[in-house]
Every structure is written in C-alpha cells, then in structure tokens.
Amino acid sequence: MVSDTKVVFRGIDHSQAVADAVQKRLDKLERYSDEIQSLRVTLESPHNHHHKGKVFHVGVEAIIPNHDILVNNDQHDNHSHEDIYIAIRDAFNALERQIKSIYAKRRHQDRSRPKPLETMTVADEAASETP
C-alpha cells in the first residue's frame, strides 16, 4: 500500500478524471509491488513553440526499499502523447517494467547465494552420541 501519493498538475488545469486515471494505474501497480512507500506523479504540458499540438509530459518518482525510481517520459516527437491518458499509460508501463526488473534481480540474487552449511554433519552426530 502506498502511504504517500501526490499528483501535481503543472501548466494544465486540475482534472478529477485525470487524477482518477492515475489512481487506477497506481492500483494496478500495487498488484506487482506492495513495497512502494511513496509516489509522486507530475503531469505537465510544457510550452513547445515549434511543435504543433499539445504534448503532455508525465514524470513519476517512486520510492521502494533500497531504490528510488524516476520515470521521465519526455517525448516531444511522440504525437500519441497529445492524449494525457496515453502519456500516463506509457509512464506507468515504464515504471512497472523497472519495478519488475528490480524484483527479478532480487530473486536472482537470492537464488545465487549459497545455503548456510549445517554445523554438524550426520557422522559428527553419530560420533557424539557413542561414548
């Protein structure tokens, strides 16, 4: 469960529908990781004087134990990001890939660690029981 979630709108009006879309993506993300401690989502529409149309930028900062993840989906040439919902989807998909990668590395490290050795072997136990 994410204890601290913040959605920041820059250069665009606050929209409850957009905030709900972010919350929906966050709920989906929690299926993959229950260790997310805080999440900050920045939604902005930078001034692009040489670009036709309004392209949205979505940045996501997530903190999980031992990792700070920053997703910066700044794609000025991507016309699909003229729709804020697609920009949100792409940013959260990138965050999901990074979280899955971190957990895959963690699982791999856990498997590669040697198991602790027993302090006494079976022969040692038998020798200690006979006088």
Structural domains in the chain plus CATH codes: 4-129 (3.30.160.100)
Instruction: Report percent pLDDT > 90 for the chain.
Output: 27
Distance CA 73, CA 12 (A): 17
Residue 128 in tokens: 């200690």
Read off the pLDDT of each residue in 103-127 and give the average, rounded to a whole number.
65
* Helix ranges restricted to H, the chain: 16-29, 84-112, 122-129
- Bridge partners (DSSP) listed for residue 43: 9, 58
Mean pLDDT of all residues in the chain? 80
Residue 32 in tokens: 């993959």
Q: Tell me the whole-structure pTM to 2 decimals.
A: 0.73
